[in-house]
Structure 1
């Protein structure tokens, strides 16, 4: 009553998992000037435009990661749902921070595996874009593991040991590799590692990892190698020529590979097909070291499943169904997917952000109060108010309490 006066009373509501709770709240304005507020909302930690509770946000985000924005809105509450747009806004505004890695003792391993690939996600086209081809975003995926886990694997499914995921949208691939390297350095004793095999399709951003990860060697994954072998030979419909190319690569013999490609080009009539054959030859020869090492270190290399991981981790949600994403939507969703794959809980993510916002609001309120007291202390009527201000007489003895009394000249 000393500091606030009533402006009006309003009815409002907040959506919870049990339905919408409706309540009356009073709108106040400060007598000394400043922002008007619903004090009851501030008391329970609601921001001015909050219309859903934290438990709803957790349910919405959790469901939207696995299915769609629409289904995320449907599971918002038992009696009500929220719109796709509202679900999207919640995800776009969510700050995704990976939990800090806690390691009691670094692990000793001889061989470590790093595999990488990217997804291709269609972006929404703007109204003034007349071209038929939609733009594409390429979220990157990298995962680190210690090889096949025999205890958890079965005849139908292979499991990887101590797998850790990284990925999302990166302007610079170096930022991604820095994350990977920091994890390896924290988790493993680098002196015990003999080799780190970096597997992928040979893209330049993947090979950049060789500069960041010590003791690393590039391995070309079988999926892309076989893809280019088929591209080079499928039009001839000749199993012998395919086998000849395969034998040359399995050996591996670079000169023999070149001779097989000469033979293929002689048998190819179409200029379009010849170009495809030359592209396949260029790809294979440019990644020759990645092919050669598989024959040299056959027993150590477990094979690359990056293509399958991209499909399982990213494509199911981002690119397998016809949809158009925004840049921020792809960035946020890919990060959320990685967060969950690493065992992160959406509850922890949402509540951590809420606590950070409350802490920020608390500091802003304290700064505002200090400014107000300083302003009042400079006036000639300071003595008439400082003894009546509640915070000075009944306030909790905190750092802020002592600072305010000091500013006001009270000892």
Structure 2
């Protein structure tokens, strides 16, 4: 006799509700604060969640055992117990091991139906929780928060991060926009890598790149203290060949904007060769030296003199811009600099400004149309707060995957969509033709389980063959 599909709900109705009433009574009488009440309710409700999952899986397995079409195609081998970690905690259930009568691989069919792979120890919801938390804090904390009462190791979290597949994410196509001016800003972070071997180097770093496209300042969302950019789209990660990064940005622009309407695209950054390379790939683009690095360079060249007049002279020469005047001011700065190390810093600052003179001239000529570059703020927001602001050693693959994850989330992507898209891709690749028909029809069982919440638990009697049971039998009979 098949037990009622609703034993867990009936049991909760009889005993769980009483537990909740007692917890509320204790709270109202002042024996517990709000934290105690929340934790007590969480424990009770998560226990119900585990019971429901166990019951659903075991009843689905029982339907398969009794299915007429199953008896024609599959033989029962044995029953096995399985444990899988979920957000509710560890769920333990029994399921049947079947073998095909016509030969082939043996399967726990109910696991196939619900997407549990052989030897899989945690459900996707746990992975989603872990990945989401890992992007904000650390692998260790992500492991602690991934599941109620049961934590997973930081090694397991790292493995999940390393196995993320970002090729499943695509840019949604929209009607192309008519925008006259676009802005691209680019920079890189400096992330310390793990030190291995006897030849440890303090310069062992990785430099994930970031490029973002936007339409300028969003006046509606900006305030006096904080400027917000309009329709920002991020690209980035670890790239051996940055041409691929610029091609991604170029492809996005081509899909989102009407290039016949676009008049100018400004590429702003610190003048690194890989940033300047973007002009070759982005149509109608010009390089602009960003204000942050220019200001930093002026300060570096003059700070040791503690002379505001000469600093203003250099700034005025750059803002004008007057190349010969810049050289003249630097000559004066060097004459006043005695320290050899400081002289070297001044010479490097001068060389930096002269090497990026084209980007400085663009700022002067088209200053009205060029908004302030904000790459440092965005690098900090997207990368630095997780990758480089706190002392830690990363692996190269860890930097690569985490930077991609941070870019993905910065674009508004949901970890749920990422993990489930990867799961669907994997299932599609692994799907076996021999069980397609059975799994396709039987999967509808899960959809119909929603109907249980419309049935009053008090109307359920142990051993009753419910309408849901009969309906599923009819489905199985048609396979």
Bin for the TM-score computed over the shorter chain: 0.7 to 0.9
Please state if 1:21 is matched with 2:91: yes
Please state if 1:268 is matched with 2:309: no
Q: 1:58 is matched with which residue? A: 128
Q: TM-score if structure 2 supplies the norm length?
A: 0.73
Q: 1:144 is matched with which residue? A: 213
- Within a 5 Å distance, the mapping from 1:237-252 to structure 2 comes to 237-252=306-321
Deviations 1:63-93 (A, max 9, x none): 1111211221122222211111111111111
Where 1:107 maps in the other structure, the secondary structure is coil
State the distance in 1 between where 2:76 and 2:204 align: 55
Pairing partner for 2:418 from 344, 349, 361: 349
Pairing partner for 1:74 from 139, 144, 158: 144
Q: 1:222 is matched with which residue? A: 291
Q: Tell me: higher relative CO, structure 1 or 2? Use CA pairs within 8 A at least 6 residues apart.
A: 2
**Offset, 1:270:** 2.1
User: Cα 1:33–1:124, aligned 2, differ >3 Å: closer, same or farther?
Assistant: farther
State the distance in 1 between where 2:430 and 2:478 align: 19
Q: 2:326 is matched with which residue? A: 257
Q: 1:199 is matched with which residue? A: 268
Where 2:260 maps in the other structure, the secondary structure is helix
**Contact between 2:174 and 2:256, CA under 8 Å: does it hold in 1?**
no
State the distance in 1 between where 2:435 and 2:195 align: 45
Please state if 1:361 is matched with 2:430: yes
Structure with the largest fraction of helix = 2
Gaps of 5+ in 2: 1-70, 437-476
**Offset, 1:132:** 4.2
Where 2:346 maps in the other structure, the secondary structure is helix
Question: Does 242-251 or 201-210 show the bigger shift?
Answer: 242-251
Where 1:141 maps in the other structure, the secondary structure is strand
User: Cα 1:167–1:268, aligned 2, differ >3 Å: closer, same or farther?
Assistant: same
Deviations 1:123-164 (A, max 9, x none): 1122x2432415111111111111111111111111111111
Deviations 1:31-90 (A, max 9, x none): 776555444433432112211111111111111111211221122222211111111111
Q: 1:157 is matched with which residue? A: 226
Q: 1:91 is matched with which residue? A: 161
Q: 1:212 is matched with which residue? A: 281
Q: 2:190 is matched with which residue? A: 120
State the distance in 2 between where 1:132 and 1:104 align: 48
**Contact between 1:248 and 1:256, CA under 8 Å: does it hold in 2?**
yes
User: Cα 1:364–1:119, aligned 2, differ >3 Å: closer, same or farther?
Assistant: farther
Pairing partner for 2:258 from 170, 179, 189: 189
**Offset, 1:395:** 9.8
Q: 1:287 is matched with which residue? A: 356
User: Cα 1:364–1:87, aligned 2, differ >3 Å: closer, same or farther?
Assistant: farther
**Contact between 1:69 and 1:87, CA under 8 Å: does it hold in 2?**
yes
State the distance in 1 between where 2:122 and 2:135 align: 19
**Contact between 2:184 and 2:268, CA under 8 Å: does it hold in 1?**
yes
Please state if 1:305 is matched with 2:404: no
**Offset, 1:267:** 1.5
User: Cα 1:21–1:270, aligned 2, differ >3 Å: closer, same or farther?
Assistant: same
What CA RMSD, in Å, does the superposition of the two structures yield over aligned residues?
Answer: 2.2
Gaps of 5+ in 1: 368-393, 397-411
User: Cα 1:364–1:65, aligned 2, differ >3 Å: closer, same or farther?
Assistant: farther
User: Cα 1:263–1:188, aligned 2, differ >3 Å: closer, same or farther?
Assistant: same
Aligned residue pairs: how many?
368
**Contact between 2:76 and 2:96, CA under 8 Å: does it hold in 1?**
no
State the distance in 2 between where 1:134 and 1:255 align: 36
State the distance in 1 between where 2:226 and 2:427 align: 46
Deviations 1:355-387 (A, max 9, x none): 1121112147689xxxxxxxxxxxxxxxxxxxx
**Contact between 2:191 and 2:205, CA under 8 Å: does it hold in 1?**
yes
**Contact between 2:191 and 2:388, CA under 8 Å: does it hold in 1?**
yes
